[in-house]
Amino acid sequence: MQTPNYLYHFKWLKTTFFLTIGFLCLFWIYFFGLQNGSEEVSDIYKAYERAFAIPDLLWICILLFLSFLWLKNNQTKGIVTTIAAGSALVFLALADISFNFQQGLYTVNLFEGLLNSVINMLSLGYGLTLLYVGQSLITLVSNK
């Protein structure tokens, strides 16, 4: 029995892995370069954001990169890392949504509210998509 080519079934997946890694890295460069030292940004927001730098960079980004490498080489452990990355993104999105509601960040102004909403929905949607992809790949591998 021939091993299925995992990335063939989701050709768009490798691009989204790298776009997400790039976006997360750019966000943290922006945050630590501009927002972290700004007097205009609340201390609560800065403390909250700083708590997620390590999980984003040392967990989500590494999982996405490993998913790419392992799926490209048709290694089933890439399915596990894809599911783990999806779960981490869903957790991140739900934590952000909860924090943003509690702090009223969706209603600060129209631009900030829309920006936060779009980022949260993209993170949640992409996380759920990775969970779906992982489940689909498990089905493909198990032929069920």
Identify the pLDDT of residue 143: 81
Mean pLDDT by 10 residues, the chain (144 residues): 70 93 96 94 95 96 96 93 98 97 93 93 98 94 81
Identify the pLDDT of residue 10: 85
58 in a domain, yes or no?
Answer: yes
Domain extent, residue 67, equals: 6-142
Q: Which two tokens stand for residue 89?
A: 């993104």
* Contact in structure between 83 and 126 (CB atoms under 8 Å): no
1 in a domain, yes or no?
Answer: no
Q: Which two tokens stand for residue 134?
A: 């992982």
Element (H, E) at 90: helix 77-103
Identify the pLDDT of residue 7: 74
Q: Nearest CA to 133 among 2, 22, 12?
A: 12
Identify the pLDDT of residue 11: 83
Identify the pLDDT of residue 99: 97
Task: Count structural domains, the chain.
Answer: 1
Identify the pLDDT of residue 9: 75
